[in-house]
Amino acid sequence: MQKTCDTARRHSLRRLALLPLWGLTTAGLAACSKKAPLATALPAGATVLALGDSLTQGVGASAAQSYPQLLAERTGWNVINAGISGETSSQIAQRLPQLLQAHHPALVIVCAGGNDWLRRQSAQAAQAQIASMLQQCKAQNIPVLLVAVPEFNMAAALTGRVQDHPIYEALAKEEQVPLLAKAWSEVLANDAMRADQVHANAAGYARFTELLVAQLKASGFFNG
């Protein structure tokens, strides 16, 4: 009986002795994972596809003041402005395959949904269309960054409180892609950065570009 108890005691001590080492090991792994970049930095000259609607096209400012142009100047990338004013997520999704084939981008920035909200179209349908865009890029091993767009509605217009539509956070989690959140919401909530209720002015596009570059750095796409 005494021998059995001694053996059990020794086994318990061994387990306790291993616990600190296990904790240090997992802590070290967690620290390494936090420092590891989520993506490989793109070199100067890399082709980046900016996909979207009027916010990407740059309505409310000149072409030189659009965010794709400002991003190109900031990063040295070849940024393709594939924004068309007035398009819904469905229309943008229809253009994507041809754009991918034509440009072979190293990164796609997807900013869609604003016109769906303005036209009171189904959020579920818009979410499915945007998900299809993310999946098309991932299927071709093309990294993608998703940009959240505010939920334009009467309450936002009356109160001035502009917030991202909740589908974007859900999409980023489901599709495991980086998300630029609250950037357009910050810009379009500020009268000094708006050309009208739903478009930025030059100052707004400049601020959006700052926030975008910060997210690109955090995601590992840019190290400049």
User: Which residues are catalytically annotated?
Assistant: 54, 196, 199
DSSP letter (8 states) at residue 72: H
Angle among Cα 198, 71, 163 to the nearest 5 degrees reads 30
Closest CA to 111 of 13, 11, 209: 209
End-to-end Cα separation, the chain, in angstroms: 69
Q: Helix axis angle, 89-103 relative to 123-139, nearest 10°? A: 10
Question: CA–CA separation, 178 vs 28, rounded Å?
Answer: 24
Residue 194 tokens read as: 């708006």
Question: CA–CA separation, 157 vs 197, rounded Å?
Answer: 8
Quickly count: other Cβ atoms within 10 Å of residue 5's Cβ. Answer: 9
Radius of gyration of the chain (CA): 23
Run of H or E including 51? strand 47-52
CB 111 within 8 A of CB 53: yes
Question: CA–CA separation, 2 vs 135, rounded Å?
Answer: 64
Question: CA–CA separation, 119 vs 223, rounded Å?
Answer: 39
